[in-house]
Chains A and B, each alone.
Chain A
Amino acid sequence: MKNLLILFFCLLYQVSWAQEKFTISGYIEDASTGERLIGANIYDAKTLKGTTSNAYGFYSLTLPSDSVDLIVSFIGYNKIKERIKLDANREQTFELGADVLLDEVEITAEEASEQIHEKSQMSSVSIPMSQIKSLPAFLGEVDVIKALQLLPGVQSGSEASSGLYVRGGGPDQNLILLDGVPVYNASHLFGFFSVFNADAINSVELIKGGFPARYGGRLSSVVDIRMKEGNNKKFGASLSVGLISSKLTVEGPIFKDKTSFILSGRRTYIDLLARPFILAASEGEGVGGYFFHDFNAKINHKFSEKDRLYISTYTGRDKFYFSQKEKDGELKDEYKAGLGWGNWTGMMRWNHVFTPKLFGNLTATYSSYDLNTTLEYEESDFDDEGNVVKDRFKAGYESGIEDWGGKIDFDYSPTPSQFIRFGAGVTQHTFSPGARQFQLSSDEVADISLDTIIADNEVKAIEMDAYIEDDIKIGSRLKVNAGLHFSGFSVDDEFYKSFQPRISARYLVTPQLSLKASYAEMQQFIHLLSNSSALDLPSDLWVPATGKVKPQKSRQVAAGLAQTLFEKYELSVEGYYKTMDNLIAYLDGASYFDGGKDWQDKVASGSGEAYGAEFLFQKKTGKTTGWIGYTLSWSNRQFDERINNGQAFPYKYDRRHDIAIALIHRFNDRVEMSANWVFGTGNAVTLPIARYPRAEFTDNTDGWVNAFGYGDVKHFDSRNGYRMRNYHRLDWGFSFFRKKKRGERRWNLGFYNLYSRKNPFFMFEDSQYYQDSQGNGRFRRVYKQVSIFPILPSFSYNRSW
């Protein structure tokens, strides 16, 4: 560790100044909206030294005093070439115009951004939002998480789920950041949709390994999602009407070029469409349904070229509800049930340019997730004297997690060859693993009166972290990103701390081919307690590491090669090996519904390993874009003897082969077609292989005693020892565009599961009635597979102004 730090600081100060140098710095923006462009490329055509804009569109490039030929470019935009006399430090903002005529002005990937073989970062993929919006959408809902599932190394879980299972990790091991704020439950409707409204999203990046030191707190992936900032040039709006939901986004300047805002809302209306049918079916007495909504808002204000303030929030909620009223003369019975869950995040960030080379931001964050269920009824009856009396009952359950945090981050670019990031943060977590409330009262029986809350202890914990990382070029071929992440977690009387070294490097074998390798240690102080269920249930509990349940840890090593072919195609092949410790899982037979037992007594701790190889062939520019991804992987878990007799077993989402092909072709400026095809080895499930009679227990008088339960014993060979059928599916979509006097109109038509493949969702044992050869009615035991989505057509109408 000591040697690593010495090496790091040597690299930091190794810069020798042979010639006077000056720094040009500023922002790279979209000319029409003022939106900051993340990851735009800027370089000097003479020296070929360059950099990319950071997450806030800021760049800093230090070059020798001279006249420099700067080229600024970004995918989907026309590049800017500008000759500048650099004889002093200089601030300059570049505004790139959108590339509206793709076939005439085709930007090559090389010019647009740092190419895959040049980056020291490995195991990282970003998909342009324009591509995500063009992919076929499930029920017409564009979903950033579902787009990420099409990448190698990412499994989707069950049918149509928006869960992420990255390199053998669990869904809790993904650090999903929305504007730098962790989002705990990123899915709606039991995982069928993600919480991210694509109309409000500016960029998405997925990191699966070789994690830069600035990220921490999760083992398996980072999904960094940035919201749009809002058009600071002119007002605009977009409306989307789809099969199950509608979206409206409004953005514009409050003070032109100074302050802008964006508001975006989405609501499903399955409940509104179904309401008349439910009322009719219940003869007007019942109302029920389900909906979810999201709301994103962001405002940013430019105080000066050096200071900028961002405030953003996201709130989203799912709600199931049912109520029924029955009336009989004076008597009235009323029943209500509800299930709701949702996230709320908030962020306030101050950007400040301290010097042309030093950029910093100070951020305050808030994130919460909660789940609540209610069941209540009021029943009336006549008492002995003919008066109407009522009994009332209400039961509720609540659980959740709430975070308040603050952090400070700096980007320092001393030379074009070096980019240093450092910072620190602290978060206070409040875990509420579960509170049950009961109320009972009766007009008739005075003794029956109850109002009580039974709650698991609320747990407060402090998580802190600090990091430093350096992205540095050493010579012309080697580029290294090395760093150290420290994290600490204080809970009850325990303090956990860890130093996590991170390093990734690339070595240019040829100008277009590089070898890459990385090593990363990660630690995670929170766990998600979930059952084996086909659905992503909102009842899964976020719980902290405690004295008894240790923090999760992982070590991942990866190596591979990356090549750019014909300037348009990117090819990467990677192999990885990851170990995970202190994972938790429910004991055999345990579930969320076991009331009254501490969650720590329902789980066992264990380890996991995941390894595999990933292949990605990608084309980001031109009329036809898309990728082909293939993953060969293994993921296993092993716990103590209380789970699977201590033997290792495949993880539920261990998937040996996973293929995804995504293609988008734009015929002209009016018609676009897209398709994706996915194939995955069947999910692992636990099925019994044999049955035999249960032992019987009689007492000393030969009386039968219920000691061992009822029915035959089912013998399971191994947990997750059987595979369901392979999964494959083709989705197809068309978009029809038309320029309008103001803005654009777009029709999307899509088909999910075009060839209506019966993909397995889950399996169950059943009895099937049949007649034998003598015509006698008999039963036979069978396994049945449930499939939930046949071919599903969808459409949506989008209009922007």
Chain B
Amino acid sequence: MKSFKYIALLLIGTLFFSCKEDFFTTIVEVELPTIENTLVVNSIVRADKPFNFQLYKAVEVLDNEAQSTLVENGVIEIYEGEQLLETVTPTTTVNVDTFVNWPNLDTVIYTNTRITYDSETIAETGKTYEIKASAPDFEPVTAVSAIPNKPVIKTIYISDTVEVVDFYGYKDEKIELTIEMEDDINTEDYYYINLSSKEFFTDPYTGDEFNYKNSICYESYDPIFNSVETDPVDVEAAAWYCGLADFNDNLFNGKTKKFTLLIDTYYFNNNYGNQNSERFINVDLGHTTKDFYLYARSATSQSWNDGNPFAEPVTVYSNIENGFGIFAGISEISITLE
């Protein structure tokens, strides 16, 4: 019995010692590869519009700067083949909202004055451009992108209200938006669809006019939104998007493709019956490069899975040689549904 008491005391003492709070979480020093003065170029080039670039310095992941540093003294050269079309320098100052994630804290939105680099050169469909960006103390970076041709929409229409049963079995009423488009058999093509609503509102008391623009959320059971594979798959659940949804032509290469988007009837109600407002639905169909598609997919996936311990970490695609970011062309058709 005496030895039992000693053993019990030993066990309790050890348990007490083992439960010290500072044992379980420790700040650790990590030796990660250093990122020295690496340029980031972000540029989505729209057909028939000037080039627009943002230039940053990438920061190390544990750097305590809230945001990456803006590069204010860079130079960007735009080439078509061997021909230098333009040398772009900082041109515009704009106010932008930047979303910054502090680990395990709420996202902080900073409104900053930012310098952008705007060209006078207009991006033309069917042409391929190379850019070379440089700044003092940085290794120069390069990237190449084509400007795709405009997509071809054959028909576009909306249905009357339809009843749908969703993944969980719930019944709901939706408006069907159907788009029929053509695809080139000779190329691997990438597209996006973007729905937004624009509302014009007149204040009944002051007569002031306002307009609001909002992304529209929608869903689709079409496999083009759910699969990056070439084989059609059974899709149980609708793909759900707010804003832009990208897809490729793996499932309809060279064919006329008709697909349907399901939109809440809410977006078609005229601002809850407010007589002083008018709402329009805007449909953008974009034709993009593969680089745009890969960047959009990977960047969205990384954002979506940030902090999810069960998901595999996502490497965001970049086509900037010797740096980070994206340089990609798009070509778009916009249609307004009244």
Contacts and interface: CB of A to CB of B under 8 A. Distances in A.
A1 interface: no
B97 to A, nearest CB: 8
Contact of B11 (A454, A708, A762, A795): A795
A760 B26 CA distance: 9
Contact of B100 (A438, A452, A711): A711
Given A706-B244, A758-B26, A690 B312 contact: no
Interface stretch (A117-125, A290-298, A564-572, A588-596): A588-596
Contacts of A279: none
A694 B303 CA distance: 10
Interface string B103-132: 111010000000000000000000000000
A286 interface: no
Contacts of A707: 192, 194, 243-244, 296, 300
Nearest to A706: B243
A795 B61 contact: no
B27 A768 contact: yes
A784 B28 contact: yes
Contacts of A705: 194, 196, 215, 243-244
A793 B14 contact: yes
Given A700-B284, A751-B14, A784-B27, A591 B215 contact: no
> Which of A588, A687, A749 gathers the greatest number of chain B CB atoms within 10 Å?
A588
A576 B30 CA distance: 32
Interface in B207-255: 213, 215, 226-229, 231, 233-238, 242-244
B299 A790 contact: no
B213 A695 contact: no
Given A588-B314, A601-B233, A792-B18, A784 B23 contact: no
Contacts of A760: 28
A595 B240 CA distance: 12
How many A residues are at the interface, by size bracket? 35 or more
A781 B43 contact: no
Contacts of A749: 7
A757 to B, nearest CB: 10
Contact of A779 (B17, B67, B105, B314): B105
B58 A791 contact: no
Interface string A591-626: 111011110110000000000000000000000000
Nearest to A790: B18
A782 B28 CA distance: 8
A785 B26 contact: yes
Contacts, number: 280
B262 to A, nearest CB: 15
A779 B299 contact: no
B24 interface: yes
Contact of A691 (B68, B192, B242, B303): B68
A383 B14 CA distance: 57
Contact of A454 (B46, B167, B213, B312): B167
Interface in A254-305: none
Contacts of A408: none
Contact of B32 (A689, A706, A779, A787): A689
Contacts of B167: 454, 595-596
> Which of A694, A763, A781, A792 gathers the greatest number of chain B CB atoms within 10 Å?
A694
Interface in B268-300: 282, 284, 295-296, 298-300
B233 A589 contact: no
Nearest to A717: B33
> Which of A537, A645, A713, A756 gathers the greatest number of chain B CB atoms within 10 Å?
A713
Contact of A692 (B27, B58, B64, B104): B58
A362 B281 CA distance: 71
> Which of B100, B235, B313, B332 gathers the greatest number of chain A CB atoms within 10 Å?
B313
Given A700-B332, A706-B243, A707-B296, A783 B30 contact: yes
A719 B234 CA distance: 31
A588 B298 contact: yes
B301 A589 contact: yes
A709 B26 contact: no
> Which of B25, B27, B312 gathers the greatest number of chain A CB atoms within 10 Å?
B312
Interface in A527-546: 531-533, 537
Interface of B: 7, 10-11, 14-15, 17-20, 23-28, 30, 32-33, 35, 38, 40, 42-44, 46, 54, 56, 58-64, 67-68, 96, 98-105, 107, 167-171, 192, 194, 196, 198, 213, 215, 226-229, 231, 233-238, 242-244, 282, 284, 295-296, 298-306, 308-316, 324-326, 332, 334
Interface of A: 438, 440, 447, 450-452, 454, 531-533, 537, 548, 585-593, 595-598, 600-601, 643-645, 686-697, 699-701, 703, 705-717, 719, 722, 725, 749, 751, 756, 758, 760, 762-768, 778-788, 790-793, 795
9 contacts: A452-B169, A589-B314, A601-B228, A690-B60, A695-B44, A708-B299, A711-B306, A763-B30, A781-B63
